[in-house]
Structure formats: structure tokens, C-alpha cells
Amino acid sequence: MEFATIAAISTPMGEGAIAIVRLSGEEAIQIADQIFRAANGQKLAEVGSHTIHYGTIIDLKSNETAEEVMVSVMKAPRTFTREDVVEINCHGGIVSVNRVLQLALQAGAQLAEPGEFTKRAFLNGRIDLSQAEAVMDLIRAKTDRAMNVALNQMEGRLSKLIQSLRQDIIETVAHVEVNIDYPEYDDVEEMTHRILIEKATHIKSELQALLQTSQQGKILRDGLSTVIIGRPNVGKSSLLNSLVQENKAIVTDIPGTTRDVIEEYVNVRGVPLKLVDTAGIRETEDIVERIGVERSRQVLKEADLILLVVNSADDFTKEDKQLFEAVQGMNVIVIANKTDLPQKIDMDELRAIAENHQIVTTSLVEEKGIDELEQSISSMFFEGQIEAADMTYVSNNRHIALLNEALQAIEDVLTGIDLGTPIDIIQIDLTRTWELLGEIIGDAVQESLIDQLFSQFCLGK
């Protein structure tokens, strides 16, 4: 399959030591040769693959030097896209890298679409669709554990498992086809049912095992939406600052200081938290604070984890009780803060109202209790789980949806056998399972979906 030669900036925009303009396609080396002048006079078309060369980029219109660069040449098929690839390493200023890109475009390259380099790697057969999606997960990873999950998927751990299951299914389908075509043996139907039950049960077990990792996988991929709530002036903003280890929120003794929702990502024992500090939930006449309180109530509904802060140096109040009522049925960790002050709160009453929720005591002024809180958060969602490096996590929403559909299809196979449904009808559900698993790795997927998936990538990747 031949494509036009594309070019894009493959490093973040802004000031930096080095920026890279990447070209990929059949004419990548020829286009680069037009604008590059090697210090030793050698043409890029003459050099070996996977070599780097010093020289300058020339403006063809003025014949003046535009940039001093190092140019890497990588020839197909041993490249990311399986096409000829040229990477021009220039200075990292916005003006310089844009100038090099424009000169490459003027020489005949086309501006790459978002994710087009990875899309070509997929279309040229270097990686499958699940591996391509893992590239973006790797770029967006916020913790080491999230990065390990993405790396495992890029290396094909999920792909190999899916391909193994599909091979089992296709062999079973072939066996069923033979038995349908040659029904003269008396025990054919009994043998076919026995094989179907054995294979379908195995596939169902594997799919269930994969789906059991999906909650942890999504947390590692997208982060745990964590909302800090409590009455005004109990230490919510201090907690945010302690977890982030930076003064992101204003801290005062004045109730109602936080007027809006503040979001920040933080790494807690390898678990990425999308940490949300909210305005203190209370009745107020202040119109700005009231808007903040309403926003707090809204994010509360969307949270994966609630950190409910109470003041241990104050009596338990009606407002505290209302907050506990608001978070019933949610994942909650109760934080009894300000233990550096004389304790007034009735801890027995707090434990009774908190019911099964974990309680952690802290003094954020003295920076005490944060380690215990971080351990509670980690154990709540990953207690007893094998480390990311030792198992295949499913983290992508598209994969999870397809696995659920495949599980339903294989359950329909087992139900059909129990009901005595004819073999050729049962085979339809078995084939459907095979097709759904194929959509995960891109063996059976519509072109429009491919375009949509890669449009979410950044330019230059």
C-alpha cells in the first residue's frame, strides 16, 4: 500500500534544546535531500540506513541557511511506519522548528494528520489496533504502573491472548463444519456438543478473567476521580496541597475561601488520582460561593472515590451528618483532621456514622497521617491485585465493550447447547465471538472507526 509522504513536528511545541520534524513515505529521503546540505557533501540517498548526519537546512527560494541540524535516515521496512523515515533534529524554538517543517512541505511533503504515523504502522502491518491504541496510552500515562500497562499492550500481550482465543474458536468452528458436512456417524452430534462445551467454557473463563482487570485497568489509564468534600474550613485545601506537595489551593481560616472546583493529578502509590478540591458544602447567601457549592454537588455524583474531611477539634455537626448521607453507597475514606488540636469530636459516634468506611486521622499542619491515607487509597482499589507487570490489564473502553459483547455471545453458545439448539445455529454465536475479538486487534473493523480512533492522537505521532 502506497501513501503520500507526510511530515509533522513530533516534539512538544515550545522552547527546548531539540525539536524533531519527522517525514515518512516513499519520497521522504528525496524530499529531505532537497533541503539538506550535509557538511561532508554526501547525499542522504547514498547513506546507510539508521545513520545520522550533520549539516544545514536550506531555504530553496533564497538559497540561504535556515537551520543547523542533525538528520537521521531510517530505511524501510525497519522503521516505525515500515516506510522510509527521516527525522530532522533542529533547535527547539517555536520559530526554528516551524521553519523546518514549512520547508519540508514546500519540498513536496504533505502535513500529517493527527496520529497518521501510528495509523500507517497499523495499516502496514507492523502493529495491530490494540497496540496502536497503547501508543497513546503510553504518552498519557501519569504513573509508572500506568506506563507498564501501556508498554505490555504495545508489546502485544493483549494481542497474543486475543489471537490465541480466536485460534481456539476458528479450530472449533472448523470442527463443527466438518461434523455438519459429514453427519453419517452416529456419535457426531454428541462429540460436537462435548467439544463446544469444553471450548466455550474455556473461552468464557478467559474473557471473564480479562474483564476482572478492567476496573483497575481503567483507573491506571484514566485516573481515579477523587473528590475532597467537607464543611468549610476543615482542611480540604490543605489536604489537596499535601497530596500534590505544592500550594495549589489558598488556605485560610476564613470559611468559604475555596469558591470553585480545583482539579489536579497526583500519583499515590502508583495510582493516578484526578484530585478535585471542592467548595465547602453549606448553605450560603454569597452568590459566588453558592455556585461553587452547586458545582461541588455535581462533581460528587461523578466521583470514583470520596475523601470526606471532618474536624476532630470540633463537635460533630448536622452538616457533617448530611455529608455522610450524601455519599451513601460510594467509595469513601473518612479523614479526621486537626489532631494537633484538642479533640472534641466523638470518635465512637464518627465510627458509627461512618459504618464500613475507613477512617484515617491526620494533622495536615504537622504533615501527619498522609502516608496512612495514601496506603488506604491504594489498598481500596488494588488490594490483593497482582502487579501490572505480571498480568494483562484491560483499560480501553472500546476493548471492554467488545469483551462484554464477546462474553455474551459465548454465553449464548452455552445456553444454546443446554436448550438443544441445532449446531448450525449455535455456530453463528461462536463465529460472532470470533468477529468481536477480531475488532479489538483490528482484523475486522470499519475504516470509519479507524479514522476516528487515530484522530484522537496528537500531531506527529
Taking residues 438-456, report their average pLDDT: 74
Burial class (CB within 10 angstroms; exposed 0-12, middle 13-18, buried 19+) of 69: buried
What percentage of the chain's residues is helix, strand, coil (to nearest 5)?
50, 20, 35
Confidence of residue 72 (pLDDT cuts 50, 70, 90): very high
Decide: 124 and 446 in contact? Cβ < 8 Å.
no
Q: Is the pLDDT of residue 387 over 70?
A: no
Amino acid in position 407: L
Q: Which CATH number fits domain 225-382: 1.10.10.10, 3.40.50.2300, 3.40.50.300, 1.10.287.3240?
A: 3.40.50.300
Q: How confident is the model at residue 137 (pLDDT cuts 50, 70, 90)?
A: confident
Q: Where are the beta strands (DSSP E) in 26-175?
A: 36-38, 51-59, 64-74, 85-91, 110-111
- Lowest mean pLDDT segment, chosen from 242-246, 312-316, 401-405: 242-246
User: Where is average pLDDT lowest: 179-183, 264-268, 303-307, 353-357?
Assistant: 179-183
Under DSSP, is residue 66 helix (H, G, I), strand (E, B) or coil?
Answer: strand
179 has a pLDDT exceeding 70? no
**Cα–Cα nearest to 282, from 274, 270, 290:** 290
| Distance from C-alpha of 219 to C-alpha of 381, rounded to nearest angstrom | 9
Specify the CATH class of 140-213+394-442 in words: mainly alpha
**Residue 392 CA to chain centroid, in angstroms?**
14
Distances (CA, A) of 302 to 276, 326, 332, 382: 11, 13, 13, 20
CATH fold, domain 6-128, is Gyrase A; domain 2 (3.30.1360)
Nearest to 226 by CA among 258, 259, 265: 265
Alpha-carbon gap, residue 78 to 82, rounded angstroms: 6
pLDDT of 454 reads 72
With 50 as the cut, is the pLDDT of residue 250 above it? no
The stretch 241-256 carries a mean pLDDT of: 52
The whole-number pLDDT of residue 143 equals: 73
Q: Of 141, 148, 109, give the one whose Cα is nearest residue 223.
A: 141
The predicted pLDDT at position 345 comes to 87
pLDDT tens for each residue of 229-244: 888 888 887 888 888 7
Q: How many helices (H) and strands (E) does the chain have?
A: 16, 13
Give the Cα separation of 103 and 428 in Å (integer). 55
274: left (phi over 0), alpha (psi -120 to 50) or beta: beta
Distance between CA atoms of residues 72 and 51, nearest Å: 6
Confidence of residue 348 (pLDDT cuts 50, 70, 90): confident
Given the DSSP bridges, would you call strands 6-9 and 64-74 parallel, antiparallel or unpaired? unpaired
Q: What is the CA radius of gyration of the chain?
A: 29
Nearby residues of 281 by Cβ (< 8 Å), 6 or more positions away:
229, 230, 231, 293, 296, 297, 319, 323, 326
Across residues 129-151, what is the average pLDDT?
79
pLDDT of residue 280: 46
State yes or no: pLDDT of 292 exceeds 80. no
Q: 236 Cβ partners below 8 Å, 6+ apart?
A: 228, 229, 230, 249, 258, 277, 278, 280, 309
Q: Whose grid coordinates read 527560494?
A: 61
**Domain segments of the chain: what residues?**
6-128, 140-213+394-442, 225-382
Confidence check: pLDDT of 389 > 50: no
Mean pLDDT, to the nearest integer, of 416-425? 86
Please determine, for residue 226, whether its predicted confidence score (pLDDT) is greater than 50.
yes
198 in Cβ contact with 168 (< 8 Å): no
Averaged pLDDT, 308-329 = 85
Question: What pTM was computed for the model?
Answer: 0.68
Decide which of 299 and 425 is more confident.
425
* Amino acid 255: pLDDT: 41
Position 390 scores a pLDDT of 47
Q: Give the model's pLDDT for residue 24.
A: 96
pLDDT at 303: 80
326, with CB counted inside 10 A (0-12, 13-18, 19+), is: middle
| Burial zone of 389 (CB within 10 Å; 0-12 exposed, 13-18 middle, 19+ buried) | exposed
Quick one: pLDDT at residue 187?
53
Instruction: Check whether 293 has a pLDDT greater than 60.
Output: no
The pLDDT of residue 218 is: 73
Task: Please tell me the distance from the alpha carbon of residue 209 to that of residue 212, in angstroms, as a whole number.
Answer: 5
Nearest CA-CA partner of 70 in 133, 21, 116: 21
pLDDT at 31 over 50: yes
pLDDT band at 256; cut points 50, 70, 90? very low
pLDDT score at 157: 86
What would the mean pLDDT of 328-335 be, rounded to a whole number? Answer: 88
Mean of per-residue pLDDT scores for the chain: 82
Q: What is the mean pLDDT of residues 428-453?
A: 81
pLDDT above 60: residue 217: yes
Question: Where residue 249 falls among pLDDT bands split at 50, 70, 90?
Answer: very low
* Nearest CA among 101, 77, 73, 99 for reference residue 6: 101
Convert the pLDDT of each residue in 358-380 to its tens digit.
899 988 888 888 889 888 888 88
What per-residue confidence (pLDDT) applies to 304?
83
Quickly tell me which residue has 494483562 as its cell. 392
